[in-house]
Structure 1
Amino acid sequence: MTSNTDAVEPDESATKRTRRDYLTYGGAVAVGGLLAGCTGGGAESDPAGSDGNGTDPTDGGSGDSDDSTADDAGDESYTASISPVGEVTFESPPETVFTRLTHHADMAFALGRGDGITAMHAPDYYDGLWNQYIERLPGVSLDWSGLYSSWEPDKEKLYELDSDVHLADPAWITQLESWDREGVDEIAERVSPWFGNSLSDRHQEPTPEWADGYEYYGLWEQFERVAEAFGERERYEALAAVHEEILGTIETRLPPEEERPTAVMIAAADIEEIYAYTLSNPGFLTSHTRPLGPRDAFEGSVESGTVVDFETILDADPDVILYLGGMEPGTDMAGRRAAFEEDPVGSEVTAVRNDRIHPQGARYQGPILNLFQLEMTAKQLYPDAFGEWPRYESGPYPEIPEDERLFDRERVAEIINGDA
């Protein structure tokens, strides 16, 4: 979808004041310091419902954030900060949330704002994919179907959505043809602030106007900052504890490096055009594979997003093939395997001969998908250490025997629902 660059501006009375009057307009960048809290009506918004690495190689949170501060007694406003926006002041926790990429949508969902999401990239696709996993969280539901698809967001649509916060990276938004710095500043002033970071996905370079001081975050480090913006420190800490526990389990059971399998990650809507992705490069896209330390079958010779063929894959000859999007309801995993098995070249790949083509979910994962993907990938790569991954063809995330699960589903469900 393309943005309407010729959209008519709102009338003068609408542009002068929104229901989120801002207190300050300053800080390191233009949108820093804007007041974002809603003064009413957030819960009444329509709840209907692709895609950084931090200081820890296992992608853990920093654990020392003190960005959220309270003002004088009687003033409930608070601040949170994130690069590239800087410091933002909220008068109350946001309820309705604009997102563009799914790592941010998952963060809002994890913090109990799943029904408040107003927009996201490819909502119907990711609604189907996420629900494959959410099926295993008792008492938790998610409905993103029918939301505004925000890959190329229209500025006037952002006025119409009137979200309490734009959980998206303005440095990425301004890379779109229909947006510039003036446009994102306008939305921050007249609707609500931006509060997100996306170039941490694979440590992309920002454009010059954002380059000064742009920081890269690990997935859980960014989640911590987002939780501060929503006033949800306790929810973050509870989920971070689950994450640290699964990382500890992985660390204690991982075999020595020389005994680990070689692996590749691929994606293909059409088997004639296969995209390969790296497994351990910096960025939150590898936050579920990097802690597991598989050996790159391509040995660094293939960059993420490179188109490869069966011959290239056979030359690398991986022990395991991880198939992105394989958990999405519309993906035919049986057909994907058959395409390899029936090809004279593809059938010779070790992973194919040993029936080790496994589904994956999405690289733009938030905390909830990350927990599931750490568990499933651990089992796909190291069945002897973490238990067998069931041969998956369709349906929701498989039922894993309770004694072979790497995290507590009920605990995570309670946290999301606010019952912990």
Structure 2
Amino acid sequence: MTNSTDGGRGPTRRRYLAGSAAALSGLLAGCTGGDADDGTTPNDDAPATERDTTATDSSETTTAASGGPYTATLAPAGEVSFDAVPESVFTVFSQYPDMCVALGHGDAVNAMYVPEMAGTTMNHYYDRLEGVSFEWEGLPDPLSDGLPKELLYDLDSDVHLVDPAWASTQKGWSAGDVDEVADAVGPWFGNFYSGTNADAPDGYAADYQHYTLWELFGAVADVFQERERYEALASVHEEMLSTVEQGLPPRSERPTAVRVTYSGDQFYTYHLNEPGYWLADTRPLGANDAFAEKDWGQLWGTVGMEAMAEADPDVVLHLWGMTPNYDMAEVRQSLADDPVGGQLSAVQNDRVYAQGMRYQGPLMNLFQLEATAKQLYPEQFGEWPGYEAGQPYPEIPEDERLFDREQVASVVRGDGQ
């Protein structure tokens, strides 16, 4: 890698060029956050989809056609220069490993958060994409003991697909530590606060930008020099959004719904239609959020069984229900056995559905959008066949699929490249 000098710190091991955003630093941690596709909220009978065109402006990203240094740009890191395509990639949340898989670089991932849960869930989707899989076994969990700086040095990654602003808020970290790792190990390239379009920490807020999931994916594609793969997958996503938009019933005919995680006698609740890529699989579908008027001061809050009964949504979307952490048959039984929960319309009408993960990358998003469309609007998009714990994403009849599996798999495999 080419060395450079920045701010008098001396030569760096990898060339890290940051624009004005690089001076920024700090804020917010939290494993839960939000993000959505483009930060818009569907209203009334207007189309509830968000259009993600290109992930980054051509004026913001310069890539070399073949060989030689190239750059990729993403706030808050700014413009980052690479001498070669990264071969070792540090990640935390699973949207980035999913992006790496989608771009044909899944084997470069050297760490990820809760790999057994996230990796298993990712492969439950990939089972429907011939020739696509992710080898997560043996990957360290970077948050199993905080975020140890020593781990980043040990892994010696070419790039960290992590938001430096978020990293600066972790226990034992400061903006100075973030800069140190960028200089001595490898650059940061991630954006966390677009998950909910939340404010970035002090020191980073001035130049922080919020991105949609697919815009973020496009920027990561530039890191790997995989613009062609990105554009092919973005086209699938765009076509899917068009299908959804054309099929949505009027607002007055849409069900009321909640997105929750049931735990004991309470529900962790999330809005459906707020900005941020954590809602990239619900916001485009524009269901009537039964808790739309609730202000939790953040994306999520908690409500008890009585509050849920008062809202009485038509549909309950259970987050994490397709992960190994939950058995939806047990969740449904627990709700049915509760004297109040058993009276919920969604329980009585068998409309408590398993959902995937908030930390979704592009491949996960395609499946989760399809699942949610069928769960909310079976008459328009076909019946949801249900999800069985521990099994792959359910088989959908070919004529009822909302995207072409083989087309996606072919892009990921790099057929014809």
After superposition, residues 66-145 of structure 1 pair within 5 angstroms as 66=58, 67-70=60-63, 76-145=68-137
After superposition, residues 132-281 of structure 1 pair within 5 angstroms as 132-151=124-143, 152-268=146-262, 270-281=263-274
Higher relative contact order (CA 8 A, sep 6+): 2
How far off is 1:74 after superposition? Answer: 8.8
In structure 1, give the amino acid aligned to 2:108: G
CA deviation map 1:130-188 (0-9, x unaligned): 11111111111112122111123211111110111100001001111211111111111
In structure 2, give the amino acid aligned to 1:255: P
Structure 2 stretches lacking a partner, 5+ long: 1-8, 25-30, 41-48
CA deviation map 1:191-224 (0-9, x unaligned): 1100010110001211111011100001001111
CA deviation map 1:294-328 (0-9, x unaligned): 00112322533212121111110000000011111
Identify the residue that residue 7 of structure 1 maps to in structure 2.
none
In structure 2, give the amino acid aligned to 1:84: P
Structure 1: distance between partners of 2:353 and 2:412? 28
Equivalent residues of 1:70, 1:76 under 8 A apart: no
In structure 2, give the amino acid aligned to 1:399: E
Identify the residue that residue 46 of structure 1 maps to in structure 2.
none
In structure 2, give the amino acid aligned to 1:186: E
Which of 319, 322, 333 lines up with 1:324 in the alignment?
319
Equivalent residues of 1:168, 1:198 under 8 A apart: yes
How far off is 1:96 after superposition? Answer: 1.3
Structure 2: distance between partners of 1:340 and 1:351? 10
**More moved, 309-318 vs 391-400:** 391-400
How far off is 1:60 after superposition? Answer: 3.7
How far off is 1:31 after superposition? Answer: 7.4
Equivalent residues of 2:374, 2:382 under 8 A apart: yes
Identify the residue that residue 298 of structure 1 maps to in structure 2.
291
Structure 2: distance between partners of 1:349 and 1:328? 24
Structure 2: distance between partners of 1:204 and 1:189? 27
Structure 1: distance between partners of 2:147 and 2:261? 25
CA deviation map 1:52-73 (0-9, x unaligned): 45657434434262133257x9
Identify the residue that residue 411 of structure 2 maps to in structure 1.
415
Structure 2: distance between partners of 1:360 and 1:29? 36
Shift in CA distance, 55/315, structure 1 to aligned 2, threshold 3 Å: closer
Structure 1: distance between partners of 2:287 and 2:238? 20
Shift in CA distance, 185/390, structure 1 to aligned 2, threshold 3 Å: same
How far off is 1:392 after superposition? Answer: 2.5
After superposition, residues 287-366 of structure 1 pair within 5 angstroms as 287-301=280-294, 303=296, 304-366=299-361
Equivalent residues of 1:31, 1:86 under 8 A apart: no
Equivalent residues of 1:59, 1:218 under 8 A apart: no
* Residue 65 (1) aligns with residue 61 (2): no
Shift in CA distance, 378/25, structure 1 to aligned 2, threshold 3 Å: closer
Matched residue SS, 2:20: coil
CA deviation map 1:94-131 (0-9, x unaligned): 12110111112211121111111111111111111111
Identify the residue that residue 44 of structure 1 maps to in structure 2.
none
Structure 2: distance between partners of 1:62 and 1:233? 13
Identify the residue that residue 39 of structure 1 maps to in structure 2.
none
Structure 1 stretches lacking a partner, 5+ long: 1-14, 33-49
* Residue 402 (1) aligns with residue 395 (2): no
Equivalent residues of 2:74, 2:219 under 8 A apart: yes
Shift in CA distance, 412/75, structure 1 to aligned 2, threshold 3 Å: closer
CA deviation map 1:316-372 (0-9, x unaligned): 000000001111134211110011111110011111110000000101111000000
Q: Percent of pairs identical after alignment?
A: 48
Q: What is the number of equivalent residue pairs in this alignment?
A: 385
Structure 1: distance between partners of 2:340 and 2:409? 44
CA deviation map 1:27-56 (0-9, x unaligned): 314479xxxxxxxxxxxxxxxxx6645657
How far off is 1:271 after superposition? Answer: 2.6
Equivalent residues of 1:321, 1:357 under 8 A apart: yes
Matched residue SS, 2:116: helix
Shift in CA distance, 243/379, structure 1 to aligned 2, threshold 3 Å: same
In structure 2, give the amino acid aligned to 1:137: L
Matched residue SS, 2:105: helix
Shift in CA distance, 296/92, structure 1 to aligned 2, threshold 3 Å: same
Provide TM-score, normalisation by structure 1: 0.87
In structure 2, give the amino acid aligned to 1:194: W
Instruction: Let me know the Cα RMSD of the aligned residues.
Output: 2.1
Provide TM-score, normalisation by structure 2: 0.87
Which of 365, 388, 395 lines up with 1:393 in the alignment?
388
Equivalent residues of 1:60, 1:218 under 8 A apart: no
Shift in CA distance, 56/245, structure 1 to aligned 2, threshold 3 Å: farther
